[in-house]
């Protein structure tokens, strides 16, 4: 304790106590005589400690404000950002229409949504599906041809979403535990559709996507 006080005194040598030091009547009780000097020193250090506390609180408030500001603005920035891969290799710079189902229903996907999809792919799939290949099972790549020939075909958004919610073997006969399952608790409908849109667009447009040249 005493060392701490001494240290504080060295840190803030010029700080003056703003509060006048009034003798504490209790302390002056003749039953407990405490020298005035001790009381003085004590209240000076309490004051310095208080100042430190205030400084710390201000710092803490600053940090909290900073964190809140960034955590709220980062997703917004990410949502507006168009990944350079999307523009350069998939040639998507404005919304594109993708087939949702075999009935020919279409939905527009913005380049921002495809960028979100690419990010999700990088976070969840790339370990096994780098460049659209399937490392654990190269026969079942994510190339457009492979997606079309699967049973049922997986070359439309809804079919891809159904597959990702519950991955099945290539012939559709049973569940597969090789691929990553994405329950709604992990990815929302909108997110999983963005991911499907990225996979489908990459399969349609990206040169070398899913080829077995690895
Ligand atoms: C641990 C490795 C692994 C991860 C991670 C993984 N997959 Fe797979 N994926 C596989 C394997 C293996 C298969 C082939 C499964 C089979 O046929 O039994 C497959 C199959 C697929 C297919 C079907 C391909 C076709 O031609 O029919 C799609 C689509 C697919 N994965 C998408 C994804 C997506 C999207 C993600 C990320 C959310 C992902 N996978 C994560 C291993 C993985």
Per-10-residue mean pLDDT of the chain, 214 residues long, equals 61 56 58 68 82 92 86 63 91 96 97 97 97 95 97 98 98 97 98 98 94 61
Last residue of a domain, one of 50, 80, 110: 80
- Measured in angstroms, how far is the CA atom of residue 106 from the centroid of ligand 1? 24
Report which DSSP code applies to 175: B
Of 23, 51, 80, which marks where a domain is finished? 80
Looking at residue 99, its pLDDT comes to: 98
Q: Whose CA is nearest to atom 5 of ligand 1?
A: 125
> Is residue 187 one of the residues assigned to a domain?
yes
pLDDT score recorded for residue 117: 98
Domain of residue 93: give its range: 84-205
For residue 174, the model assigns a pLDDT of: 97
Ligand 1: which of 134, 149, 162 to mutate, judged by most atoms within 8 Å of the beta carbon?
Answer: 134
User: 60 and 118: one domain?
Assistant: no
Same-domain status, 189 and 99: yes
With respect to residue 181, please indicate whether it lies within any of the assigned structural domains: yes
Per-residue pLDDT, 75: 59
- Compute the distance between CA of residue 125 and CA of residue 163 in angstroms, rounded to an integer: 14
The total number of structural domains in the chain stands at: 2
pLDDT the model gives residue 157: 98
In a domain, 156, yes or no: yes
Nearest residue to 148 (alpha-carbon basis) of 162, 159, 132, 137? 159
Here the tokens at position 129 are 């599906």
DSSP 8-class letter at 209: T
Cα angle: 179, vertex 185, 189; to 5 degrees: 85
Do the domain assignments include residue 75? Answer: yes
By the 8 A CB rule, do 129 and 164 touch?
A: no
pTM over 0.75: no
Ligand 1 contacts (CB < 6 A) are 124-125, 127-129, 134, 136-137, 140-142, 146-147, 150, 154, 160, 163-164, 169-170, 176, 178-180, 182, 195, 199
72 and 108 both lie in a single domain: no
Answer whether residue 21 is part of any domain.
yes
* Predicted local confidence at residue 140, as pLDDT: 96
- Give the residue from 80, 106, 123 where a domain finishes: 80
Token pair in block for residue 123: 């976070």
Two structure tokens written together for 12 = 């803030």
The whole-number pLDDT of residue 214 equals 45
Residues 44 and 90 grouped into a single domain: no
């Amino acid at each position: 304790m005493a060392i701490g006080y001494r240290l504080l005194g060295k840190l803030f040598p010029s700080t003056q106590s703003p509060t006048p030091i009034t003798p504490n009547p209790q302390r002056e009780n003749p039953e407990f005589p405490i020298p005035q000097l001790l009381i003085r020193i004590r209240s000076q250090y309490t004051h310095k400690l208080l100042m430190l506390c205030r400084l710390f609180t201000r710092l803490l408030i600053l940090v909290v404000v900073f964190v809140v500001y960034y955590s709220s603005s980062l997703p917004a920035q990410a949502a507006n950002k168009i990944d350079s891969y999307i523009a350069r290799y998939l040639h998507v710079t404005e919304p594109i229409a993708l087939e949702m189902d075999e009935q020919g229903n279409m939905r527009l996907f913005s380049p921002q949504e495809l960028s979100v999809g690419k990010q999700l792919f990088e976070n969840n799939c790339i370990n096994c599906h780098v460049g659209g290949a399937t490392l654990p099972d190269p026969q079942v790549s994510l190339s457009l041809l492979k997606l079309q020939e699967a049973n049922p075909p997986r070359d439309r958004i809804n079919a891809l979403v159904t597959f990702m919610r519950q991955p099945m073997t290539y012939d559709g006969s049973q569940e597969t535990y090789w691929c990553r399952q994405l329950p709604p608790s992990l990815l929302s409908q909108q997110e999983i559709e963005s991911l499907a849109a990225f996979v489908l667009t990459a399969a349609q447009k990206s040169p070398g996507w899913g080829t077995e040249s690895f």
